[in-house]
């Protein structure tokens, strides 16, 4: 069903005969979610929300706008009495697809540097979500932390991609103002660009590694090296 998450009528129609909702909030502000949450509260389905491991429960203000909106959405859902199951995901391995054009053209990835985190394969996030949605129907008011098996820097990821491709690749960080100009020139929305750069500059390093993926799916979290092998054709040089 097509609809608009910020439009109450769309949400109401989509919730007809629905007992479970998997929610991804796509905006950098939680305020437009008020009509959605009001309709969820009225329909009272079970809600599974995809959030971020960077959320700090001890802080009112989070490190950057992306984490802030996740923390705000978690709070809004709980304040509405929805008792969500929250899947906090670490950095998705699929984010590295943003480097594909650079790596098809050469051996250097340029961009803003970020703090080290336990990059998680998006397939493991999907499998964990399916397990919670289909089988763990009583896991309300519970939070899972979905991580990969080891913390990695951007330079680490580029090196691992190089090993999968049989190429000597390197990462070269660029200043924030240069990265901003490039992302805007690529057509990315200014609010998103500023949020991404704030995350790059302010999000702290994370050494968090959990076994929640394995506990949910029965299989250990995939390594980024495996992700790189499986997706290596996407980064191959153009003929």
Q: Which of 120, 48, 132 is nearest to 91 (CA)?
A: 120
- Rounded to the nearest angstrom, the gap between the alpha carbon of residue 202 and the centroid of all alpha carbons in its chain is 17
239 pLDDT higher than 60: no
Q: Would 2 be classed as within a structural domain? A: no
What's the angle, vertex CA 99, arms to CA 157 and CA 117, rounded to 5?
Answer: 35
| Residue percentage of the chain with pLDDT more than 70 | 99
pLDDT number for residue 137: 81
Residue 3 lies inside a defined structural domain of this protein: no
**Antiparallel, parallel or unpaired: β 143-146 and 85-89:** parallel
Q: Angle of helix 224-231 relative to helix 154-165, nearest 10 degrees?
A: 50
Question: What torsion do the CA atoms of 217, 221, 225, 230 make, to the nearest 10 degrees?
Answer: 10
Tokens of residue 17, six digits: 């005969």
pLDDT tens sequence across 88-127:
999 999 999 999 999 999 999 999 999 999 999 999 999 9
Q: What angle do CA 232, 113, 127 make, to 5 degrees?
A: 50
Is residue 70 within 8 Å of 204, Cβ to Cβ?
no
Q: What is the pLDDT of residue 188?
A: 93
Q: Mean pLDDT score of the chain, rounded to an integer? A: 95
Q: Is residue 66 within 8 Å of 52, Cβ to Cβ?
A: yes
Q: How many domains does the chain have?
A: 1
Is residue 1 in a domain?
no
Q: Answer whether residue 116 is part of any domain.
A: yes
Whether residue 197 lies inside any domain: the answer is yes
Sign, CA dihedral 51-191-156-223, equals: positive
- Containing domain of residue 129, as a range? 8-235
Give the residue, 1 or 112, on which the prediction is more confident: 112
Average pLDDT (165-171) is 97
Mean pLDDT for the stretch of residues 36-47 = 96
What pLDDT does residue 205 have?
94
Q: Please give the pLDDT value at position 2.
A: 86
- Quick one: average pLDDT of 22-47? 96
pTM: 0.94
pLDDT score for 229: 98
Kindly state whether residue 73 falls inside one of the protein's structural domains: yes
**What CATH number corresponds to the domain at position 81?**
3.40.50.720
Q: Is residue 41 situated within a structural domain?
A: yes
* DSSP 8-state code for residue 119: -
The pLDDT score that the predictor gives to residue 132 is 96
* Residue 105 belongs to a domain: yes
pLDDT digits (tens, 9 = 90+) for 169-195: 999 999 999 999 999 999 999 999 999
**Could you tell me the two tokens for 106?**
């050469």
Q: What tens digit of pLDDT does each residue of 124-143 get?
A: 999 999 999 998 888 889 99
Residue whose structure tokens are 């103002």:
177
């Amino acid at each position: 069903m097509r609809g608009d998450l910020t439009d109450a009528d769309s949400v109401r129609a989509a919730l007809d005969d629905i007992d479970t909702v998997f929610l991804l909030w796509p905006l950098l502000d939680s305020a437009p979610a008020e009509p959605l949450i009001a309709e969820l509260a009225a329909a009272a389905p079970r809600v599974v929300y995809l959030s971020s491991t960077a959320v700090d429960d001890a802080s009112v203000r989070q490190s950057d706008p992306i984490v802030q909106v996740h923390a705000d959405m978690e709070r809004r859902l709980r304040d509405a009495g929805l008792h969500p199951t929250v899947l906090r995901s670490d950095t998705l391995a699929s984010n590295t697809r943003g480097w594909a054009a650079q790596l098809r053209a050469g051996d250097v990835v340029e961009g803003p540097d970020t703090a080290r985190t336990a990059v998680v394969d998006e397939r493991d996030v999907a499998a964990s979500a399916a397990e919670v949605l289909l089988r763990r129907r009583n896991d309300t008011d519970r939070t899972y932390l979905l991580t990969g098996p080891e913390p990695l820097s951007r330079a680490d990821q580029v090196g691992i991609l190089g090993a999968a491709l049989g190429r000597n690749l390197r990462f070269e960080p660029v200043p924030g103002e240069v990265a901003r100009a490039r992302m805007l020139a690529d057509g990315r929305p200014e609010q998103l660009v500023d949020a991404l750069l704030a995350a790059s500059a302010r999000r702290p390093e994370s050494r968090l590694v959990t076994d929640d993926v394995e506990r949910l799916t029965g299989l250990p979290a995939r390594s980024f090296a495996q992700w790189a092998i499986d997706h290596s054709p996407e980064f191959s040089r153009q003929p």
